[in-house]
Amino acid sequence: SAVISQKPSRDICQRGTSLTIQCQVDSQVTMMFWYRQQPGQSLTLIATANQGSEATYESGFVIDKFPISRPNLTFSTLTVSNMSPEDSSIYLCSVEGSYEQYFGPGTRLTVT
Amino acid sequence: AQTVTQSQPEMSVQEAETVTLSCTYDTSENNYYLFWYKQPPSRQMILVIRQEAYKQQNATENRFSVNFQKAAKSFSLKISDSQLGDTAMYFCAFRGSNYKLTFGKGTLLTVNP
């Protein structure tokens, strides 16, 4: 299994600002994913981040709004840009392990 | 595109009893994985059980077991001897050949003392 940490664990931000979320894994992994979980909802995949290539975004998510970096096999960042209250969610990163995905503890973002 | 449907938004069960959570899915793929994840109030996603589609035998993990019906595209979770710590949101998820997870809307399970 993989141990994943995220920073920050929570934040309250003003609209129009940006927040960068960090995801650190204790082992090298090829595939990392970023999910959004809106209040009371299920998880929705934002993008897949593979080291050495551009992130692949799902329908409804764009790079200008959610830029992602993947500088090495243990680390990734997701930035939520020009935030609005609708961006208030839990953001989770995950990694592909042996036929399953392991999740980080999530970042709870509140935009006021 | 794959879809995952959980038709029970909320369920409750008495401690020590058995409860079954339902999940159906739709896919054109033949080889895939199905999962049940648990999300307690701490919001950490915890893998409960995994089923490979090519295996006919239903997966079992201690008090948790599944009823996997491939032809019917059904994947239910049975929790036996329910414990207070089982109280959580339960998500059914599908993983196909692209490794992406598609989640159902979730079932909030409450175990009552």
Could you write out the three-class secondary structure of A31-76? EEEEEEECCCCCEEEEEEEECCCCCEECCCCCCCCCCEEEEECCEE
pLDDT (average), residues A48-57: 90
Q: What is the mean pLDDT of chain A?
A: 95
Question: What is the least distance, in Å, from the CA of A68 to any CA of chain B?
Answer: 17
| pLDDT tens digit sequence for B56-102 | 899 999 999 999 999 999 999 999 999 999 999 999 999 998 889 99
pLDDT value of position A53: 84
| pLDDT tens digit sequence for B20-64 | 999 999 999 999 999 999 999 888 999 999 999 999 899 999 999
pLDDT value of position A97: 84
Q: Which of B44, B50, B103 sits opposite A43 (nearest CB)?
A: B103
| pLDDT tens digit sequence for A83-110 | 999 999 999 999 988 778 999 999 999 9
Question: What is the least distance, in Å, from the CA of B30 to any CA of chain A?
Answer: 16
pLDDT value of position A100: 86
pLDDT value of position B28: 93
Chain B residue nearest residue A48, CA to CA: B100
* Selected residue of B2, B39, B45 to mutate for chain A interface (largest A Cβ count, 10 A): B45
Cβ within 8 Å, pair A96-B101: no
Question: What is the least distance, in Å, from the CA of A44 to any CA of chain B?
Answer: 7
Residue B2 has pLDDT above 90, yes or no: no
Q: Is A7 on the interface with B (CB under 8 A)?
A: no
Cβ within 8 Å, pair B43-A106: yes
Cβ within 8 Å, pair B91-A108: no
Q: What band does A72 get if pLDDT is binned at 50, 70 and 90?
A: very high
pLDDT value of position A8: 97
Residue with tokens 């080889």: B31
Q: Name chain A contacts of B99, Cβ cutoff 8 Å.
A: 31, 48, 96
pLDDT value of position A98: 79
Q: Which of B33, B100, B103 sits opposite A42 (nearest CB)?
A: B103
CB neighbour list of residue B60: distance below 8 Å, 6 or more residues apart: B49, B66
pLDDT value of position A11: 98
Q: Is B11 on the interface with A (CB under 8 A)?
A: no
Q: Is A33 on the interface with B (CB under 8 A)?
A: yes
Q: What band does A20 get if pLDDT is binned at 50, 70 and 90?
A: very high
Amino acid occupying residue A86: E
Closest C-alpha to B100, from A3, A77, A23, A56? A56
**DSSP string for A8-19:** -SEEEE-TT--E
pLDDT value of position B40: 94
